[in-house]
Structure 1
Amino acid sequence: MTRNQNILTTLRSLDPADRDIDPQGARAQTDLARILATDPSGPPSLRAGGRSDRPSRNSRTAWKLVLAGGIVTAAAAVVAVLPSITGGDRAFATWTPSPEGMAPEARAKAGAKCRETLQEHGAGAGYANDLRSADAVIVERRGKWTTVVLATRNGFRAMCIAGNSTYKFEDGFGSIGTPVNYTAPGPRDLLTTDLGTGTIDDGQLSLAVGAAGSEVAKVTYRSQDHGEVAATVSKGRFALWLPGDELDDDAVRNGIQVKVTYSDGSTGTSRLHL
């Protein structure tokens, strides 16, 4: 995983926080120290639709998506930044640890809106063909929050998350890309493509997204704060997220353990890491 990128300009354009914050305050000084410690020779700042093929030290390009000071680390060629989430369920009041059902019409609309948003906002630059051919493999709702994962068999995936019930993903954030040297996971394996924590207007959220083997039927994560959080597992992909910064840098660095239930009813554990 690469070191923190120096993206002060991007942070200024994305950060919805109060501009009158005390520059001598503890949080401001901590953020400043982190920025000043950034390796200036690292990868260039990413904008929506930006891309780079520069490899990371683990042979997989890993970018950090910065949202108002938080990060989401993605094991993919590109991370697309959309405006930070506003409106909707500001305090995660309706969030549920297990995804809720959605009618087929709603699933189709959400999937189409995610694809359209990435195309219209330039995040799909260089991935036009993949976006057109990708299936909406995951469309889930947790309260007012909607998550969509689009994917193809070659490892390409795009993700959108928004905190509203009208699929306004342009008010949310997401990622897009194909892991370098992608190899589909074995029947009982998991391959993580996105893992980390992001900061939004009223708090932080943590997420884990990736590919799942053909015998993987269920994935759950035991959260310290929220109990058992169930992933959506569908069409060879899995996705889960939860409020808070539980999946912070330490979790990304050390990996997180999840419980896996297989199609024959047996269970096991797996460690998600990038």
Structure 2
Amino acid sequence: MSKHTNDTLDAALRHLDPAPAADLTEAERGRADALLARIVATPADVPAAVEPVRPRRTRRRNRLLVAAGLAGATGIAVPALLGGSGAFGSWTAEPEPLSAEATAAAGTTCRAALDVPDLGEHAVLAERRGEWTYVLLAGPRSEANCLMPDGLVAREARNGDDDFFGSYSPDPSAPPTLRPDALEEGQSMEGSTHEGWFIWTSGYVGSDVVGVTVHTSTGLDIQASVAEGRFAAWWPSVVPNSEHPSETWSYTVHLANGSDRATDG
């Protein structure tokens, strides 16, 4: 549907709406922000089940992990600690790849924190940004993502007050068939730990893609981790509200022949 058609329909619907247009007062804006905060908040000690972590491939981004008790969901997501302060002060736009030993430890910690069995997944991506570790575990029978502080990875057991955010799918979709220079976003999520609000995005790239840069609407340029036809990146953000709408982003793929290509994913 064209933008012109969308604008025409929008104008027609607004004409039919008997409610007059009005700017929100400060009090109304405050109540709206408070309501949004209640919607996106999840108690720290209650895992939240959400819609499948491999959503349908659309251009819609920023899926909030807010739903609880969805019947028939094929994935789970666990925001361990929502709310708090801070802004991931140690975060870096360029990731540090993990050693083989650190990657194995991150995978073990991720499974333990999610309380899921080892079904033969391997760590496709494993990175560190500042004092935070991200790992993507993938296999034919399941897939898991975890974002966790380095201190948690170094310990054998997780405490109830640890910062941690993870998702798990016991029935992952088959990888898409892509052109060698293509990128396809598979999953994007928002959530928070004690450090603050964050966004992560991940997906698939073609065989000629050797790097990916994420460009956010807040002006960040983030180098994603890329390996085995997958990519992932995460960055600090703010809780969406009436004055700070959810972020959007685009990508630049860097190809083996030295050229670059812009895409929305």
TM-score scaled by length of structure 1: 0.63
Residue 92 to residue 56, structure 1, CA distance change in 2 (3 Å): closer
Against the structure 1 CA distance between its residues 246 and 32, is the aligned structure 2 distance closer, same or farther, given a 3 Å change threshold?
closer
Q: Which moved more, 1:197-206 or 1:162-171?
A: 162-171
Q: How does 1:1-274 map to 2 (within 5 A)?
A: 26-32=29-35, 48=47, 50=49, 64-66=64-66, 77-84=74-81, 90-118=86-114, 120=115, 124=116, 128=117, 131-152=118-139, 156-167=142-153, 171-177=163-169, 178=171, 183-225=176-218, 227-245=220-238, 251=247, 256-272=249-265
Offset of residue 211 of structure 1: 1.9
Deviation of 1:173 (Å): 1.0
User: What is the rounded CA distance, in whole Å, between the counterparts of 1:239 and 1:58 in structure 2?
Assistant: 16
Question: In structure 1, the residue corresponding to 2:147 is in which secondary structure?
Answer: strand
Which secondary structure state, in structure 1, belongs to the residue aligned with residue 78 of structure 2?
Answer: coil
User: Residue deviations 1:42-94, cap 9 Å, x none?
Assistant: xxxxx7485778x98879xx974139xxxxxxxx942321412799x943111
Q: Secondary structure at the match of 2:97?
A: coil
| RMSD (Å) for aligned C-alpha atoms | 3.9
Q: What is the match of residue 42 of structure 1?
A: none
Which residue number corresponds to residue 12 of structure 2? none
Change beyond 3 A, Cα 1:79–1:226: farther
Change over 3 Å in CA distance of 1:104–1:98 after alignment to 2: same
Q: Which runs of 5+ in 1 are unaligned?
A: 1-23, 37-46, 68-75
Deviation at 1:149, TM superposition (A): 0.4
- Superposed CA deviations along residues 112-137 of structure 1, whole A, max 9, x for unmatched, are 2112322x2xxx4xxx5xx4221101
Alpha-carbon shift at residue 103 of structure 1 (Å): 2.4
Contact 2:64 2:191 in 1 (8 A): no
Q: 1:27 to 1:199 in 2, by over 3 A?
A: farther
Counterpart code for 2:107: G
Equivalent-residue separation in structure 2 for 1:58 and 1:103 (angstroms): 32
Q: Percent identity?
A: 29
Question: Rg: which structure is higher?
Answer: 2
Q: Which residue identity is paired with 1:107?
A: T
Report the number of matched residues: 214
CA-to-partner distance for each residue in 1:148-182, whole Å, 9 max, x for gaps? 1011257x421000133332776311112245565
Q: Is the 8 A contact 2:148 2:163 kept in 1?
A: yes
For the structure 1 residues 239 and 33, does the alpha-carbon distance in structure 2 shift closer, same or farther, using more than 3 Å as the test?
closer
TM-score (norm 2): 0.64
State how far apart, in whole Å, the 2-side matches of 1:232 and 1:197 are.
Answer: 18
Contact 2:87 2:236 in 1 (8 A): no
**Structure 1 letter corresponding to 2:35:** L
Q: Is the 8 A contact 2:175 2:204 kept in 1?
A: no
Q: In 1, distance between residues paired with 2:181 and 2:125?
A: 19
1:197 Cα deviation from its structure 2 partner: 2.7
Alignment partner, residue 14 of structure 2: none
